[in-house]
Structure 1
Amino acid sequence: MANSWRISALAERHRALGSQLEDWSGMGTAWTYASDLADEHEAIRTRAGLMDVSGLKKVHYVGPHAESLLEYATSRDISKVYPGKSVYATMLNEAGKFVDDCVIYRTGPNAFMVVHGSGNGHEMLLRSAQGRQVAVLFDDDLHDLSLQGPLAVDFLAEQVPGIRELPYFHHLQTRLFDRPVMISRTGYTGERGYEIFCKAADAPLIWDSILDKGRDLGIIPVPSPRWTGCGWRATCCSSPTTTRRCIPSPTSRPATPCGSWGWTSPCRRPRGISVAPASIGACRARSASGSSVCCSTATRRPRPATRCGPGASRSG
């Protein structure tokens, strides 16, 4: 087990499923379970899988200057993000170089939550807030459970009224199994899915209830990091494992805007990849060693070229 300074409230559940809790972003994270990788992959693609992605860092950014400072720190026009909406963004340093990626949730007129990976996003937010009217609060009590797959909406519709009508990259405050949660229609598997933000004390009950009540739909637990690189993150840079070519250096050029996804990166990443069934064995071996799984065992799925520049857009 990794010597991590952040602890998931679901750590004992992960150990019971066979995980050794390897470190990611300071948290002991389930990189593998004792279950079959092929079934986990099929669950995400045809049913639904439940992942604990609480290793993502959650930062509340609140105050009169919050909107303008997020525009400074990221690649997005934050004025277009209204309460209840979220956007994917890149986080840039003072030279316009990529330091992290994130999803920005607007939770009120002057209130935001920034969920980012293991890059330097938190440090960038702290620097931008110095001397300004904004509070920065790192919230490690908030846990993030990701229910991903085509049947995720069918399951949640039985518990949360109106969830089917929730648009892509929008979120709502509601209750799930009589616990207060924020549910967002986001995820990184390429399938329709939802992230459930809850208190650490409520995470075990919500996790157990989803797996118990979702058993008839084929919902199973899935270790989260093996899905990094699949789906829409296959078009993006995920820090730090896939941003080695994007970390600022004296010769790297600044990121530039590109449609609704926010930027054009100096690095080149394969787009539209999926795990080939024949690669499952190799994928399991690489996963057990902590390597980046999906990108290394992927097959390319053709997609039209994306045009970047004025007037360009990229749909979700």
Structure 2
Amino acid sequence: MLKGFGKTFHAIRKSKHLSLSKVGGNEVSKAQISRFEAEKSELTIEKFFFLLHNMRVSLDEFESIYEDYSLSDEYQFRQKLIAAYDSKDVHKLRKMYVECERKMQQQPENIYAALTATVVKVFLNLVVGNVKFDPYEIKQVQDYLLAVENWGRYEFWVFGNVMTILKDDVRDSLGSIAMGKGEFYQVLHTNKRFAIRTFHNLASVALERGNLEQALKYLNHLDRMNISNDYLYETLLIKYAKGLYAYRKGVIEGLNEMEKSIEILEELGCIEKAHSMQKELKKILEVVDKEKE
């Protein structure tokens, strides 16, 4: 098992005030659990699932806690990438891409290294705006996503971040395919968040490019996903997008929905996102005022 599993398991067990014997029952000895928590030995998958069940902890819940608790390499990489993009740190983004290229050279058969490198390149392009993409890179992304039967968080992470460099027909084709690959993202909380944000991004890109039919398709799909209050941030983004769609369709009241979403985001402390949306709304209002004159 991965490093840190035992440590995470110990933290969860202690937080629930469960003894070794209570968790292990008659199936797993206290000594086995103790060695596992100390990361001196491993457990079989069957025993690990048994212990999780006895603690009433789902595998997805354990994974989420593990990623936050142990700060896995993948989690750290994504956080580092987001931080570099938010701060518009071109030097750091270039350095991350060079590191990805080096890994690709060391592991030429590693498709994940290649896909991750493309994602980093997209982030760099969003900042500097002059990065060239080889058609092979884009085809590699497309072929990989088409080959995966059920998309998990990695697939949504890749697609959600590269969609801006895809041609409209390719992006919409993959978006339509993504809607049918929902087994993993409908039942796993973190995966569902990745999926919600991806479909929201698809709707937003369609709205930005004036394709209202595509935008409505993704907004309707988000409605069918039965998004709960656990996803409040994402719900507000969708509410804003729906308001923008309504405005694009000639319903002026859509602007009110956009404004309400921004106000709540500000109250929740999502200042940077609220400000970027406010800038967009301000431009629209300026157009509306000119039309009234």
Q: Same fold (TM over 0.5)?
A: no
TM-score of the two chains, using structure 2 as the length reference? 0.24
More contact order relative to length (CA 8 Å, sep ≥ 6): 1
TM-score of the two chains, using structure 1 as the length reference? 0.23
Structure with greater proportional strand content: 1
Q: Based on CA coordinates, which of the two structures has the bigger radius of gyration?
A: 2
